[in-house]
Structure 1
Amino acid sequence: MEDAVDFHGHLCPMSYLGVRMGRLALKKLVRGRERGVRLIAVVEFQNCLADGIQYATGATFGKNTLFLRDCGKFAASFYDLATEKSMRIRVGNEVVEESLIFGTEGQEVKKLPPNDRKEAARRILEKGKEIAERFSKMSDEELFEVTQAPYFKPAEEPSLKHVVCEECGEIVLEEFIKEKDGKKVCIECESSPA
């Protein structure tokens, strides 16, 4: 867990659960951490859970093996490209509720004046460690619900054909080029006033 803490920045309930979730997916689907492009993870909420999953599985946005389908749920689906096996793991409701206490209090600390944050943040991080420690004593079955996920095949990797935006001069992948006043422009330049 120490490396996962370094990766995420601190130990909190959701990053801990993400690591456990990722390890469970590997155990059931792949039987070990895969360095190549074999395991796909689709997270359903952009929060600390995703960092834990990324750390445990090695799935990344750069390898096109980590995807965000943000629907505000504390769950992720995992797909083994070699066997086409899949599963969805969600954090149990009671576990989510306990984790959200930490998250809510952490949000409140961010609202404090800078001089008051340090001690409050220390207390919150200590509470997060205590919650994660409690979770470490629980079984996977107590923490998660595992169900079958419909198989997901990622889209083909984008072509690397590119053009130079005629307004900003930056190189842009061809599929993201738009037309504006007869010029080939990037998405940002297309939406900016003339």
Structure 2
Amino acid sequence: MEDFETLLKGSAMAHGHLCPGQVVGVRMAIEGCRLIGLDNPRELPQIKKLIVYVEMDRCATDAISFVTGVRLGRRSLKFVDNGIMAATFLNIETKRAFRIVSTENARHLAEKYAPEITDKREQQLVAYKRMSLQDLFSIEEVQVAINACDMPGPTRFKAVCQKCGQVVRDKREVMKNNQILCRPCALGTYYQAIMK
């Protein structure tokens, strides 16, 4: 794996700016990969061994994706909308997994790690680079039960919605009133069609 500063620079370029969340995400990804035994996750064959579950849609997620190479389109990046700055790194081959959570205490410790900086954002940016892993993160080994329909690779499971005819992939269909339905037909949509 490339060194921290190189990864941080690349991550900031991919994300569009450098921020404290980028520092946290890069450090989280480096440590997560180290813990599950991957030292070059963006390259074959390791890219096929990694799934990362992110629990927030913030800057750190872009950093994690950049460092590890995981992507939604590859089905190796899973989004769990918990609103927590956390990620779980799973080695599919060994089944080892670690959940890493950015501690809220880290914000309060920024002044201790970068007392020479008065601007809070800049102070966090520098402090998160210097901070010990123990102060920055809470880390626990976990088990992740992954269903075959959630594995990376080609689509293995397809169904057709009996209401609208839409093809539904990867076991995302819903059984309702003895019908196979897509989630929009069964549960409603996040959008409203505009009638013309």
How high is the TM-score relative to the length of structure 1?
0.66
**1:12 is aligned to 2:19:** yes
Q: Percent identity?
A: 25
Quote the offset at 1:17 in angstroms: 0.2
Which residue of 1 is the match for residue 144 of structure 2? 152
1:139 paired with 2:135, answer no
1:19–1:56 contact (8 Å) kept in structure 2: yes
- CA positional deviation for 1:141: 2.1
Which has more helix, going by share of residues?
A: 1
Task: Say whether the 8 Å CA contact 2:107–2:124 is kept in structure 1.
Answer: no
Question: Which residues of structure 1 form unaligned runs of 5+?
Answer: 100-125
Residue type of the alignment partner of 1:139: S
Q: Alpha carbons of 1:84 and 1:166: their partners in 2 closer, same or farther (altered >3 Å)? A: closer
- Select the residue among 51, 54, 63 that pairs with 1:40: 51
Count, aligned residues: 165
Q: Whole-Å Cα distance in 1 between the matches of residues 60 and 159 of structure 2?
A: 34
Matching residue within 58, 62, 66 for 1:55: 66
The structure-2 alpha-carbon separation of the partners of 1:44 and 1:186, relative to structure 1 and needing over 3 Å to count, comes to closer
Aligned alpha-carbon RMSD (Å): 3.4
Q: Secondary structure at the match of 2:148?
A: coil
| Shift of residue 130, structure 1, vs aligned partner | 4.0
Name the CA distance, whole Å, in 2 between partners of 1:64 and 1:46. Answer: 16
Please point out which of 101, 106, 127 is paired with 1:95. Answer: 106
Which sits farther off after the overlay, 62-71 or 3-12?
A: 62-71
Distance in 1 of aligned mates of 2:141 and 2:173: 38
Report deviation, 1:129: 4.2
Distance change in 2, residues 1:64/1:84 (3 Å): same
Checking the alignment, whether the CA contact within 8 Å between 1:33 and 1:56 is kept in structure 2 is no
Q: CA deviation at 1:56?
A: 1.5
Uncovered stretches (5+) of structure 2, i.e. residues with no partner: 1-7, 111-118, 150-154
CA contact (8 A) 1:33 1:58 kept: no
Residues 163 and 185 in structure 2, CA contact (< 8 A), matched pair in contact too: no
Cα distance in structure 1, aligned partners of 2:167 and 2:141: 41
Tell me whether 1:66 sits opposite 2:58 in the alignment: no
| Contact 2:161 2:173 survives alignment (8 Å) | no
Instruction: Specify which structure has the bigger relative contact order, considering alpha-carbon pairs within 8 angstroms and separated by 6 or more residues.
Output: 1
Q: TM-score normalised to the size of structure 2? A: 0.66
Q: Secondary structure at the match of 1:46?
A: coil
